Amino acid sequence: MEHKNHASFTSSLGFILTAAGSAVGVGNIWRFPYLAAKDGGGLFLLVYLGLVLTFGFTLLTTDIAIGRRTGQNAWHAFGSIRPRWGFLGKLTFLVPAIIMTYYAVIGGWILKYAVVYLCGQRTQAAQDGYFLEFITSSVSPIVFLLIFLAITAFVVYAGVEKGIEKFSKVVMPILLLMIVGTGIYALTLRHTDGSGVTRTGLQGLVVYLIPDFTGLTFSKFLSILLDAMGQLFFSLSVSMGIMITYGSYVKKDVSLEKSIAQVEFFDTGVALLAGMMIIPSIFVFSGTEGMTAGPSLMFQSLPKVFASMGAAGTLVGAAFFVMVLFAALTSCVSIMETLVSTVMQIFRADRKKVSLVIGILSAVAAVIVCMGYNVLYFEYTLPNGQTAQLLDVMDYISNNFLMPLIAFLTAIFVGWVIKPQWITEEMEVQGARFGKKRFYAVMVRWVVPVIMAILFFQSTGLLAKAAAFFAPAGTVI
C-alpha cells in the first residue's frame, strides 16, 4: 500500500491558486474562443455556462473529494476504495498522457509569437498566411516546441513548482488585466473589407453574446453540447486525475465547496473574457466566415488587432504572448507533474530519472504531432464535422471521447457503487457546509451518467448514424 500524500497546501488560497494555475491555460485563451466562434458564439456560451454550474460543479467536487478522502493520486485512488475499480484510475491516467503530446506543440506556437513580438515583427505576424507558413515549416515549430518542453521538464525535474506558483500569482492578475484591456480595445475596432462591408467590434460582441437559434437542429445541438462538454473537462482539468491529486494535498479544515466555486468562477471568467477579446476582433477583420478558423484563430486574429494599434502593438503583443506563455507553462507543468509523480510512485523511482524519461517520451510524441502539419499531414473529418489534423485528433480523443467515458464510469462508481453519501461525508468533514448536497446526488446518480452516455456515443459518430437510420427520409435531424 502506498503512503498517503502529505497535505501540502497551507491555506485554501494556496489550493485555489494552484488549482486555478492548472485550470487557466491555453484552454481558456486559445481553445474556448475558437470553439465559441465555430459554434456560433452566444449559443455555445449559454450551453457552456449551464454546464459549468451543473456538470463542472459535480465533476470537480467528485475529483477533489475523492482525492482528499483517499489521500491518493488518480492511479491509486479508485482501487484503494474498491479494488475492482482500479482500472478506472489507469484509464484516467491516459488523458494527461495524451494531452501532453499536443499541449507542448501549442506551447511552442505561443513561444514563437512571444519571440516574434519581442523582436518587433508586429506587421509580419499580422499578415495572412503567416501562421500557416510557420506551423507547416519543417524545423521552426519543432525547435520552439522543444524549448517549451525543455522548460516544462526542467521545472518538474528540479521540483521547483513552488517557485513557478509564486510567479504565477503575479502573472495571472496581470494577464487578466491585459485580456480585459485588449477586449475593451477590440470593441472599438472598425474595418471595411475589400467588398466595402464595414464591421465593428460592437457587432462582433453581439455575435459573441446573443444566442442565435436559427437553423438549429437536434444533431447540431448535440454537437455543440459535446464541444462545450469537452471544453469544460479540458478547461477545469477534471476527469483526468489532476484534481484528484490536488485534492489529496488539501487539508481537512479547508471548505471544499467554497474553494471549488472559486476555482470555477476564476476559470470561467478568464475564458469568457478571452472570448470577448478574440471573437469581436476576428469578426471585424474576417466576418463570420473567419470564425470557423479553428485552432489557428487566436494566432490569426490577435496579431491583426495588435497591428492596428500601431507601434504600441509591439509592446502589447509581446506582453500578451509572454503572459499566455506563463499560463501555458503552469498548466503544462501540472500535466507533466501528474505523469511524473504517478510513475514515480508506481516504480518507486526517483524524480530526476522519471522526469528525464517522461520528458524524452513527451518530446518524441510532440514532435510527431507537430509533423502532422507537414510530413504527416492528412485531413480527417471528425464526427463533429471538423476537419482534423493529428493535433485535433489527439485533442478529440482525450476531450470528446475519453473524458465523457471516464466521467460516465466515475459517476456510476460514485452514484451507485460507493453512493453519493461517501462524497458528501468528505464535503462536510469538520462541520463544513455542503449546501448543494441533494443537487449533487441527483446529478451524479442520474444526470451525469445519462448525458455522458449520450455524448460518448455522439463522439463516436454512432448516434448520428443511428438517427439518420431511423429518421424518415427527408427529415433534417
Q: Write out the residues near ligand PFF by the rule CB under 6 A.
A: 22-23, 25-28, 96, 99, 234-235, 237, 240, 242, 331, 334-335
| Of residues 104 and 242, the one with the C-beta less far from ligand PFF | 242
CB of 88 to ligand PFF, least distance (A): 17
C-alpha cell at 158: 528540479
CB of 328 to ligand PFF, least distance (A): 7
CB of 23 to ligand PFF, least distance (A): 5
**CA–CA separation, 400 vs 403, rounded Å?**
6
Of 331, 236, 333, 335, nearest in space to 22 by CA:
331
| Of residues 61 and 235, the one with the C-beta less far from ligand PFF | 235
| Of residues 232 and 293, the one with the C-beta less far from ligand PFF | 232
CB of 150 to ligand PFF, least distance (A): 19
| Of residues 99 and 145, the one with the C-beta less far from ligand PFF | 99
Q: By the 8 A CB rule, do 430 and 254 touch?
A: no
The residues pairing with 199 across neighbouring beta strands, listed in sequence order, are 191
Give Cα separations from 133 to 136, 190, 255, 302, 305 (angstroms).
5, 27, 49, 17, 20
| Residues in Cβ contact with 119 at an 8 Å cutoff, skipping those fewer than 6 apart | none
CB of 262 to ligand PFF, least distance (A): 16
Residue nearest to ligand PFF (CB): 27
**CA–CA separation, 43 vs 1, rounded Å?**
48
| Of residues 14 and 96, the one with the C-beta less far from ligand PFF | 96
CB of 31 to ligand PFF, least distance (A): 7
CB of 190 to ligand PFF, least distance (A): 32
| Of residues 152 and 286, the one with the C-beta less far from ligand PFF | 152
C-alpha cell at 146: 522543444
| Of residues 91 and 187, the one with the C-beta less far from ligand PFF | 91
| Of residues 116 and 238, the one with the C-beta less far from ligand PFF | 238
CB of 87 to ligand PFF, least distance (A): 20
CB of 197 to ligand PFF, least distance (A): 35
| Of residues 207 and 236, the one with the C-beta less far from ligand PFF | 236
